[in-house]
A and B are shown apart, each in its own frame.
Chain A
Amino acid sequence: EPEVTQTPSHQVTQMGQEVILRCVPISNHLYFYWYRQILGQKVEFLVSFYNNEISEKSEIFDDQFSVERPDGSNFTLKIRSTKLEDSAMYFCASSDSETKNIQYFGAGTRLSVL
């Protein structure tokens, strides 16, 4: 069964460092998403991406965040200068059509900012 894969599973970084979280969406999917979940809290939408551009973003997704689809398979989330409060689980998701909106999630990357 096709799945969304995310790497690494756990990323530890120092405050102020840049991190790149990687995702390989399901191959025929066209819509891509990043979410975060701070421990014990709800899943929060960060950004959606379609046709090589951001289609929606939340207020969380400020200038320190960026997304990219550098090739035909990867979808990345970059955090330029990490803060302690960026520590969370980051989930990537993909879906195959806007009308269905059914998203499939990767297993997540746990980001720990020290």
Chain B
Amino acid sequence: RKEVEQDPGPFNVPEGATVAFNCTYSNSASQSFFWYRQDCRKEPKLLMSVYSSGNEDGRFTAQLNRASQYISLLIRDSKLSDSATYLCVVNGAANFNKFYFGSGTKLNVKP
């Protein structure tokens, strides 16, 4: 089983739509969770950390479900500039300084 799994998409949505991505992780002892975005041939950029209580940053909301071992990202009022690949990142359980990336979920926001 892969350490981190994501639906590759693509998710094709119109501007203004709400879209949600999920990511599952295999190790229940993982402690750190993140969403990064990656534009084509660019470096990953931190979108947000994911906390146990859930957290929101503007149009973006992240949730962590430890019992089911998944994290989610909700994007409201999608903008054209949100088009990117969204990467789920989880650290290893015993290896807190080792990180696993999902393959990413591609989002295309259309006018």
Q: 1/0 contact trace for A71-114 toward B, CB 8 Å?
A: 00000000000000000010100000010111111111000000
CA distance in complex: A41, B38 (Å) = 12
Main SS class of interface, A: strand
**CB-CB nearest in chain B for A46:** B98
Whether A105 and B98, one on each chain, are in contact in the complex, defined by CB atoms closer than 8 angstroms, is no
The CA of A106 and the CA of B102, in the complex, are separated in Å by: 19
The interface size of chain A toward B, counting residues with CB under 8 Å, comes to 25
Are B98 and A45 neighbours in the complex by a CB distance under 8 Å?
A: yes
- By beta carbon, the residue of chain A nearest B102 is A42
- Chain B interface extent, by class: 20 to 34
Interface string of A46-62 (1 = CB under 8 A from B): 00101000011010000
Assess the A43–B91 pair: CB atoms within 8 A: no
Count contacts between A and B, CB distance < 8 Å. 53
A11 CB to nearest chain B CB (Å)? 15
- Cβ of A68 within 8 Å of any chain B Cβ, yes or no, is no
B101 beta carbon closer than 8 Å to chain A: yes
> A104 contacts which chain B residues (CB < 8 A)?
46
Structural contact, A45 and B42, CB atoms closer than 8 A: no
Is the pair B87, A105 in contact by a Cβ cutoff of 8 Å? no
Whether the pair B46, A103 counts as a contact (CB closer than 8 A) is yes
Contacts of A106 in B (CB 8 A): 43
Q: Which residues of A contact B (CB under 8 A)?
A: 31, 33, 35, 41-45, 48, 50, 55-56, 58, 89, 91, 98, 100-108
A sample of 9 inter-chain contacts (CB < 8 A) reads A43-B38, A43-B44, A45-B99, A45-B101, A55-B97, A58-B98, A98-B97, A100-B49, A101-B99
